[in-house]
């Protein structure tokens, strides 16, 4: 049985792969459950662990924690890329909420245990970042916009965790309190197949389309050397989201594979998180935002466009059925 760290002390006691400082709050031995099977030891040597209430859990895919070299630290009060502010001034202060709306037991103790968090978290919000790389996304969220998200998923399938899941990240308005969020590196969906952004970001060679990062991006931050990001499907995907016709290239195979592993781990840790997406009465993918009552009742995977009427991510190319299929495997 491992020990939860005191979340009130988490700014000085962040989980580290090399050492995890845990306070001595012992829980009684509990019955076997889904998350026990994937809990890692506190050293987190495998490199695939995510942090939930200070405890580490295996995902089976590469995860870089905020405390690791090259990680993205949403707790930091300093800009991640001070040389790239270019006319913006970095405003210190919170980019997340230190507490979700807490059950009474948490309010009294100030400590989040996994069991408390499980009572609160039941949605996993999927975004694309319109930045194209996780490095660029973190720069925009953290250095420029004072926003946050728990996970970034880069083009090569590397996942970055920027905050413990006990924190309320600021990524999806009405979903923030009850959700985990992920920003997938992708330049987005557009109202024309010949849109300037698509022409700028994609080239085609004998193997099909691939991402050619614009020259203005001096450092992509992609960890896999010489990685070529190819959309999983060669053709542009057209579809209608929130009543708009949009065109978009698909995500990479590496992104789908990593997202499926992460989703499977989250579904084990959070029993209320259903592995499904919002559907129409006919059982098809819903492509508009949920009404207030529907949203309140919905638990499961959810696109940003299901949360807000002014959003279209993760776009028409995101293959929800593929994700469900890979999660269930």
Instruction: Tell me which residues touch Zn ion (CB under 5 A).
Output: 127, 304, 313
Query: Which DSSP string do the residues of 158-195 spell out, in sequence order?
Result: -EEE-S-TTSEESSSGGGGGGEEEEEE-----BSSTT-
Q: Kindly state the smallest distance separating residue 277's Cβ from Zn ion, in Å.
A: 15
Name the residue nearer to Zn ion (CB basis): 47 or 239.
239
Name the residue nearer to Zn ion (CB basis): 164 or 183.
183
Closest CA to 237 of 227, 226, 246, 225: 246
CB 285 within 8 A of CB 302: no
* Rounded Cα gap, residues 150 and 161, in angstroms: 6
Q: Kindly state the smallest distance separating residue 290's Cβ from Zn ion, in Å.
A: 15
Q: Kindly state the smallest distance separating residue 311's Cβ from Zn ion, in Å.
A: 5
Name the residue nearer to Zn ion (CB basis): 5 or 149.
149
Which sign does the torsion angle of CA 90, 311, 262, 33 carry?
Answer: positive
Q: Which residues contact 206 (CB under 8 A, 6 or more apart)?
A: none
Six-digit token string for 100:
């979700």
Name the residue nearer to Zn ion (CB basis): 95 or 304.
304
Longest Cα separation, the chain: 62
Q: Kindly state the smallest distance separating residue 140's Cβ from Zn ion, in Å.
A: 12
Calculate the alpha carbon distances from 205 to 81, 154, 202, 211 in Å: 33, 22, 10, 11
Q: Kindly state the smallest distance separating residue 194's Cβ from Zn ion, in Å.
A: 24
Name the residue nearer to Zn ion (CB basis): 102 or 149.
149
Calculate the alpha carbon distances from 253 to 158, 237, 259, 301 in Å: 12, 15, 10, 19
Q: Kindly state the smallest distance separating residue 127's Cβ from Zn ion, in Å.
A: 3
Name the residue nearer to Zn ion (CB basis): 39 or 313.
313
| Residue number, nearest CB to Zn ion | 127
């Amino acid at each position: 049985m491992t020990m939860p760290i005191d979340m009130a002390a988490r700014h000085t006691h962040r989980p580290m792969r090399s050492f995890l400082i845990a306070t001595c709050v012992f829980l009684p031995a509990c019955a076997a459950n889904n998350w026990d099977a994937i809990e890692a030891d506190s050293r987190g040597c495998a490199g695939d662990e995510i942090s939930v209430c200070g405890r580490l859990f295996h995902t089976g895919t590469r995860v870089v924690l905020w405390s690791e070299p090259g990680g993205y630290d949403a707790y930091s009060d300093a800009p991640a890329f001070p040389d790239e502010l270019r006319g913006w001034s970095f405003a210190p202060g919170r980019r997340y909420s230190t507490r979700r709306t807490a059950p009474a037991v948490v309010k009294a103790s100030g400590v989040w245990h996994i069991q408390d968090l499980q009572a609160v978290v039941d949605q996993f919000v999927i975004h694309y970042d319109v930045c194209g790389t996780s490095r660029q996304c973190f720069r925009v969220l953290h250095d420029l916009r004072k926003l946050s998200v728990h996970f970034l998923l880069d083009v090569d399938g590397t996942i970055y965790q920027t905050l413990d899941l006990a924190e309320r990240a600021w990524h999806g308005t009405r979903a923030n309190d009850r959700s985990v969020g992920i920003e997938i590196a992708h330049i987005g969906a557009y109202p024309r197949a010949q849109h300037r952004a698509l022409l700028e970001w994609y080239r085609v060679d004998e193997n099909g389309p691939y991402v050619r990062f614009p020259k203005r991006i001096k450092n992509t931050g992609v960890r896999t050397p010489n990685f070529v990001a190819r959309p999983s499907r060669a053709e542009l995907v057209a579809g209608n989201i929130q009543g708009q016709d949009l065109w978009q290239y698909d995500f990479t195979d590496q992104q789908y594979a990593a997202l499926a592993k992460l989703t499977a781990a989250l579904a084990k840790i959070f029993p209320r998180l259903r592995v499904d997406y919002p559907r129409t009465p006919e059982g098809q993918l819903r492509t508009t935002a949920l009404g207030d009552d529907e949203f309140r009742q919905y638990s499961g995977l959810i696109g940003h466009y299901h949360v807000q009427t002014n959003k279209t991510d993760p776009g028409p190319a995101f293959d929800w059925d593929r994700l469900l299929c890979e999660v269930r495997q």
